[in-house]
Structure 1
Amino acid sequence: MRYLGWVLLIGAGAAIIQSLWIPIKAEAAQFLLETAWIDTLTKGSPQRPWPWADHHPVARLIVPRHGVDLIVMAGDSGEALAFGPGENLEAKNVEGGSRIISGHNDTHFRFMEHVRPGDEFILEGPQNAVRYEVVRIDIVDPDKTAINPAGNPDGLMLVTCYPFGGVSPGERLRIAVTAIRKKHSQ
C-alpha cells in the first residue's frame, strides 16, 4: 500500500509539471523573443531568439487596457504559436489587406476574451508604431467562412480559438477581432 502511495504522488507531480509546461515555455520564450526583438532593432535585420529557431520577431503588440505586451513572430505555424503570437505571412502579402496575428487562447491570447470594441492595439514594427481601434468581434467557423485580410486596408486582425476555456483540443471556431488604423497614427 505504501508503494501505491508513492506511485500516486509521483504520478500527480508529473501531471502537475506537464500541465504547467506549456505556460512556462510560453512565458520563457517571450523573454528570449524580447531579446531577439531588441537585437533586430539594433542590428537592422531579423534575429532568431535561439539558434535552432525557425522564426524571428517581426513586431511588438501592445494592448494597454489589458496590460499586454507581446513579441510577434514571423509565421503562424503550430511550432511558432507554441512560443508566442505569430503573423500570418500570406495575409501580409495581400495588397491593401489587414495584417493577421494569431495566438493560443490559453497562453498569450488569453486577454482576447475581454477585448471590446473601442479597445486600442499598438503594433510596433522596426520602422514605426501604428495604433488601431477595435471595431468588430466575430465568431467564425473557418470551414464555412474564411478569415479574409482583404477589405480593411492597413487594418489589423487578431485571431484565436473559441470558446475560451474550451476542453476539446482542435476546437474549430475562431474569434476574429478586427481593428482599424487610427487616423492620427504614424
Structure 2
Amino acid sequence: MLETLVLAAICLIGIAGVMLIGKGAFIKAKAELSQVLLKRSFAAQLDGGTGGKPWPWADFSTEAEIVAPRIGRSAIVLSGASGEALAFGPARLANTPMPGESGTAVIAAHRDTHFRWLKEVKPGDLLMIKRRDGKTLTFRAGQGRIARWDQSGINANAPGRHLALATCWPFEATVQGPLRYIVSAELISDAGKQSFASLN
C-alpha cells in the first residue's frame, strides 16, 4: 500500500512537472508568434494596407518600428498603452503626438521585456523610427533620468519635435513602483520615405 502511494505521488509530481514545462513552452511560443504577427501587420501597413491590427480581436494596431542601431535592438510600436498592447510591445501613449509631429511623442514598455534594452541606450545614440506612413525619423538620445510617474516632466505639447521612451525603474525590481526611467531624444533628421538600411 505504501509503495503504491509513493508511486502515485511520484507520478503526480511528474505530471505536474510536464504540465509546467508545457505551459512555459506555450507562453514562449505565443510570445514569439505574436512578434511575427506584429511584424507582418506593420509590413502590410507599409505596403498600403489599412487597419494594422495583428489579429482580429486586438484592441491596438501597429504604428511604427523603433530601432536602436548601436545596440542592435528593435521593436514594433503599438497604438495606445493599454494593458493588452503593453503585453505585446512598446506602445505610444494616446494623448501624445506621433513621432516626428510637433510636441513630445511618448512610447512606454515593460522593463523586463520590450524595453529591457533601454538601460543600454547612451547619450548621443541614434534612435530611428519608421512610421506606418513610411516616413523614417532619426532622434538623438539624451541622458536617461529617473522620475516619479506623476512627476515625469514630459510635456506632450513642448515646442519642437521630441521623443520620450519610458519604462519602470529599477530594472531588476520584481514589483511595480512609482519610479520611471525616461530617455528623452530630439529629432535630428526627417528623411522621408527611406529604409533603415539606407540610413546606416
1:3 maps to which of 1, 8, 18? 8
Counterpart CA distance in 2 for 1:159 and 1:73 is: 14
Counterpart CA distance in 2 for 1:91 and 1:115 is: 22
1:43 alignment partner AA = G
1:25 alignment partner AA = K
Partner of 1:96: 102
2:129 maps to which of 110, 123, 129? 123
C-alpha RMSD over aligned residues: 2.3
**Cα shift at 1:109:** 1.0
2:103 alignment partner AA = G
Cα-to-partner distance string for 1:24-54 (whole Å, 9 max, x where unaligned): 4333212101111111121253321111111
**Which SS does the other structure have where 1:47 is aligned?**
coil
2:149 maps to which of 139, 142, 146? 142
**Cα shift at 1:159:** 0.7
Partner of 2:61: 56
2:168 alignment partner AA = C
Percent identity, aligned pairs only?
A: 33
**Cα shift at 1:158:** 0.7
**Cα shift at 1:20:** 6.1
Counterpart CA distance in 1 for 2:148 and 2:20 is: 32
With the length of structure 1 as denominator, give the TM-score of the two structures. 0.86
**Cα shift at 1:165:** 2.2
Change in CA separation of 1:26 and 1:97 when aligned onto 2, cut-off 3 Å: farther
Cα-to-partner distance string for 1:82-138 (whole Å, 9 max, x where unaligned): 111111110127x83111111111111111121111111101011310001111211
Change in CA separation of 1:185 and 1:96 when aligned onto 2, cut-off 3 Å: closer
**Aligned runs of 1:153-172 on 2, under 5 Å?**
153-168=160-175, 170-172=176-178
1:39 maps to which of 36, 44, 53? 44
Counterpart CA distance in 1 for 2:168 and 2:161 is: 23
Aligned partners of 1:100 and 1:159 also within 8 Å = yes
Counterpart CA distance in 1 for 2:15 and 2:180 is: 37
**Aligned runs of 1:163-182 on 2, under 5 Å?**
163-168=170-175, 170-182=176-188
**Which SS does the other structure have where 1:40 is aligned?**
helix
With the length of structure 2 as denominator, give the TM-score of the two structures. 0.80
Structure richer in strand, relative to its length: 2
Q: Structure 2: any 5+ residue segments left out of the alignment?
A: 1-5, 192-200
Counterpart CA distance in 2 for 1:108 and 1:11 is: 30
**Cα shift at 1:185:** 3.5
Counterpart CA distance in 2 for 1:63 and 1:135 is: 13
Aligned residues: 183
- Structure 1 segments (4+ residues) deviating >6 Å: none
